[in-house]
Amino acid sequence: MRVLVVTTVHHPEDSRIRARQVRAMLEAGWDVTYAASFAAHDVTPRAVRGLTVVDLPRARGRRRLSAFLAARHLIRSAAAQHDVVVLHDPELLLAAAGAGRRVPVVWDVHEDTAAAVVLKPWLPRPLRAPAAGAFRGVERIAERRTAGLLLAEAAYQDRFRHPHPVILNTVLVPESVSEPGDARVVYVGALSAARGAAELVAVGRLLRERTAGAATLHLVGGADAATRELLTTAHAAGDLEWHGYLPSTDALTLLDGALAGLSLLHDSPNYAVSIPTKVVEYMAFGVPVVTTPLPLARALVEEAGSGVVVPFEDAERTVEAVLALRDDPELRRRLGAAGHAHAAHRYDWAAHSDQFLEALTTASRRRGRG
């Protein structure tokens, strides 16, 4: 099978796209053309058998036109040489208009785009509601005109008329992990105000003050423009270590033996219907979770017995939870072991990758109305 994978929004090393989906296709012996913004992210693609890479401009903030046009040109010129096209950005559905008549097009639905767009600081407030409505319209058209959708969460099904395969944001779960330590607190994921950047900075400062620097907060992830200065200042002050974006394999090494993993997402409709991937990653590496009470995150942590739930936007309570774990080695060992066992049983990509490959194989036999 020959697959064209396209994104201009996501980092080329995005865990869902590169570490799981592209890897699964290559391991199945498929040929993959992966088009992403490698140069813009300063990424040098690794040479891998069966993988062809294409560099595209990056779509960021309001600067999206050149990326859209480059992606549209690529899809129109290269789609016919592939058995299926997989799109990871909703705007690429417009770039692929017409291609579905020649080759099946699949949209991988990462999030509730309409709910997410209202949180974008680069979009003027008066335009956010109309943009959300426009994305809902795009979703309805996509369901009719593509060969299929892949949903990252079962809850996304409510937005569509017909059933679609759910390809959860599962992770690669190690067979064995280290016991949680007492010094390194971690956050892995994109950083923004809505994702708790201000609270993370406050947590880092309080941890440094209350442990005399013995416990340190490590942040791994890219930040939006509105958050970058805040994090840079906190890093320079020694309140935390901000590593920036790291490839998945490098980022996850920081989890091994960590004291706690933080997920301080705000109470937003977009986050309410998703299990934060970071929570599953913490559990997979045997790290106790400290999360805000988003419905699915709370349910997962309580079902697994893998962590602590703290109030929204409350750095003080978050630090208290972390220090309680630091003071109780048996508690953090128990929470870490329970999380690892639950992740291995329910959220290991190794047990779900065949479902993804089957969904693409099925879609490759269809044609949309492009």
Edge-first strand listing for the sheet containing 84-87: 51-55, 31-36, 2-6, 84-87, 105-109, 148-151
| Higher pLDDT, residue 123 or 353 | 353
* Of the candidate ranges 10-14, 335-339, 366-370, the one whose mean pLDDT is the lowest: 366-370
Which pLDDT score is estimated for 226?
Answer: 85
Q: What is the mean pLDDT of the chain?
A: 91
Report the alpha-carbon distance of residue 6 to residue 18 in Å, rounded: 11
Identify the CA nearest to 259 among candidates 179, 314, 142: 179
Q: Tell me the per-residue pLDDT of 135-188, one tens digit each, with 9 for 90 and over.
A: 676 777 788 889 999 999 888 898 888 999 999 989 999 999 999 999 999 999
Mean pLDDT of 218-225: 93
Which pLDDT score is estimated for 357?
Answer: 98
Pick left, alpha or beta for residue 148 (phi over 0 → left; psi -120 to 50 → alpha; otherwise beta): left
pLDDT band, residue 333 (cuts 50/70/90): very high
Give all domains of the chain, ordered by start, each with its CATH number: 2-168+352-363 (3.40.50.2000), 184-348 (3.40.50.2000)
Residue 303: how many other CB atoms lie within 10 Å: 11
If DSSP codes are grouped into helix, strand and coil, which group holds residue 310? coil
CB distance 298 to 321 below 8 Å: no
Which pLDDT score is estimated for 100?
Answer: 64
Mean pLDDT of 71-92: 95
Report the alpha-carbon distance of residue 314 to residue 103 in Å, rounded: 50
Residue given tokens 């708790």 in the structure block: 196
Mean pLDDT of 346-355: 94
Which pLDDT score is estimated for 113?
Answer: 63
Which pLDDT score is estimated for 115?
Answer: 57
Which pLDDT score is estimated for 60?
Answer: 83
Residue 116 has pLDDT above 70, yes or no: no
Identify the CA nearest to 279 among candidates 175, 167, 168: 168
Identify the CA nearest to 277 among candidates 3, 10, 92, 67: 10
Q: Tell me the per-residue pLDDT of 119-139, one tens digit each, with 9 for 90 and over.
A: 566 556 665 566 555 667 677
Q: Tell me the per-residue pLDDT of 23-80, one tens digit each, with 9 for 90 and over.
A: 999 999 999 999 999 999 999 998 899 999 999 999 987 778 999 999 999 999 999 9
Q: What is the DSSP string of 258-291?
A: -SEEEE---S-HHHHTS--HHHHHHHHTTPPEEE
Which pLDDT score is estimated for 22?
Answer: 97
Mean pLDDT of 300-320: 98
CB distance 191 to 223 below 8 Å: yes
Report the alpha-carbon distance of residue 262 to residue 287 in Å, rounded: 10
* Of the candidate ranges 106-120, 210-224, 302-316, the one whose mean pLDDT is the lowest: 106-120
Residue 300 has pLDDT above 60, yes or no: yes
Report the alpha-carbon distance of residue 49 to residue 153 in Å, rounded: 31
State the pTM of this model: 0.87
Identify the CA nearest to 279 among candidates 328, 267, 293: 293
Task: Please give the span between the terminal C-alpha atoms of the chain, in angstroms, as a whole number.
Answer: 21
Which pLDDT score is estimated for 273?
Answer: 84
Highest-pLDDT range among 119-123, 238-242, 271-275 = 238-242
Which pLDDT score is estimated for 145?
Answer: 84
Could you give phi then psi for residue 40, rounded to 5 degrees?
A: -65, -25
